Structure 1
């Protein structure tokens, strides 16, 4: 069996109504040299049956079922360990691709050996596939073909998970993550080298009632865990190819956001500490001073999160240390 150029990793979980369309989008790729590792994580709907039905028509597709629920990134890590391709693409089981997506990324990475991964732009779509052009998830991020994305990724992630094509070497997904594993993988890759960007809307991120993007206490706690890891790994982010000032701004904005999340979950002392750290790091102190003031004033949550209704009840979970690879 010949080695495929690209391994498409599909973590599948209870997305039966969207899965067939996603697999069709993968099979419609103009670059045919791929294998697909689809792993179902214990779906209670018809996802496994649909996957096996599609696989019976295309011998490039392998279907596996986890013996126990591993979560999105535990499942992706298992698929990564099986994958044989030089490149690894993630396709979430409710998302879609344009037909030229993989070909455009492979050509860019083949041209630029220094790039550790490639991503595309994209749009949000709803349950019916209607595109939402009112919200540009990429905001003002760079769209140049080769770019240093690390300073941006240090404080947030605007790269769509299903838009990324990684080089297989050194890639690892953190199995303990349930929501932020794509961000952690991107951070590790962006620390090692530049990113490549295909500035076309070739990926569609589906937003619906049952996907894991919806904010929840567990999602907030996991984001805090990642932000703490970024802050605690302070010295590892200063790579010689990126100006120190850009890294400092990314690190400062990270703890600024951490302060707001600590307020959201009712941890004022931790929030104040994070805001003070931001004031020490950011070259321009004004944002940090404003955030510190908001954390200290009464009704801090209402000031920082006026429309957020996330309820934090019971005991706060222990946030285990995280090492970003």
Structure 2
């Protein structure tokens, strides 16, 4: 099924590298690894990069190597992008999955996305939907859609489209063309979506759930200032493109959703940096929330 095992089915299936960064994930490691190794896809390798965890993650991962066949790499903390780059240096796959080790992959997660990339050679990244769960693993929300979404670079930049890493399967040649991750950018999802699309690859998203995504206080998505800084760095190389200004405003509106509640002074600064021509219903909603929320 995985490393060191070969069959006729496996030989005909492109190798997938599952490259998972780990940082202080001891509470969820066993469940996450069990879900990875329960995949119905016949040919994958697993590479875990511990990014300077201060909890028992490394100790647990070493113990789990007696149960699961995976490569464990350790390094001083560099952030998720740096950890992924380290793992990718050792990856041999035709396709790459980068799950978080606090999430749960559904059994068909790799197979459904790999089949799509097999059939669509111009697609550099195929995403899919997720099921949200709380810290205790209880489902709270299920994404739903009936059609496949397709995006090109202009759309992704203009609308700041993020095809999230928990639902994404990447074509290795596309990641290589994008020069992998910029380690200075703390968030991996948006930058890789954008960098692959900038190389001329299509980005598609399937209307099927492949991952159970765990929401908890440590999610980077809750750290809106860090996220905004990373997103602005991700679009910075594309300032000469027509969609840049609108994409920047979309990112500012996204940060405002949290700032209007958590940091009103910062929220006013964000509002002042949005051009009036990009004000819309979302802007008015954010202003109302900012003025009347206590």
User: If the length of structure 1 is used for normalisation, what is the TM-score?
Assistant: 0.72
Q: How does 1:1-325 map to 2 (within 5 A)?
A: 5-59=15-69, 61-66=70-75, 68-133=76-141, 136=143, 143-144=147-148, 147-148=150-151, 150=153, 152-154=155-157, 155-171=159-175, 172-178=180-186, 180-191=187-198, 192-230=200-238, 232-234=239-241, 248=243, 251=244, 253-258=246-251, 260=253, 261=255, 266=266, 272=272, 274-276=274-276, 279=277, 287=280, 303=288, 305=290
Alignment partner of 1:40: what SS?
strand
1:8 Cα deviation from its structure 2 partner: 0.3
Q: Look up the match of 1:282.
A: none
Give the conservation status (yes or no) of the 8 Å contact 1:173–1:182: no
Question: Mean Cα displacement is larger for which, 26-35 or 212-221?
Answer: 212-221
Give the distance between the partners of 2:247 and 2:82, measured in 1 at CA: 25
Question: Mean Cα displacement is larger for which, 41-50 or 80-89?
Answer: 41-50
Give the distance between the partners of 1:307 and 1:149, measured in 2 at CA: 39
Give the distance between the partners of 2:230 and 2:236, measured in 1 at CA: 10
Give the distance between the partners of 2:147 and 2:105, measured in 1 at CA: 19
Give the distance between the partners of 2:266 and 2:27, measured in 1 at CA: 38
Root mean square deviation of aligned Cα = 3.3
Unmatched tracts of structure 2, length 5 or more: none
Unmatched tracts of structure 1, length 5 or more: 236-247, 280-284, 295-299, 310-325
Give the conservation status (yes or no) of the 8 Å contact 2:162–2:193: no
Alpha-carbon deviations, 1:56-99, whole Å to 9, x = none?
A: 2333x100110x21111110111111111111100111111111
Between the two proteins, the alignment pairs up a number of residues equal to 271
> In the superposition, relative to structure 1, how do residues 170 and 27 fare at CA in structure 2: closer, same or farther (>3 Å)?
same
User: If the length of structure 2 is used for normalisation, what is the TM-score?
Assistant: 0.79
> In the superposition, relative to structure 1, how do residues 7 and 307 fare at CA in structure 2: closer, same or farther (>3 Å)?
farther
1:287 Cα deviation from its structure 2 partner: 2.7
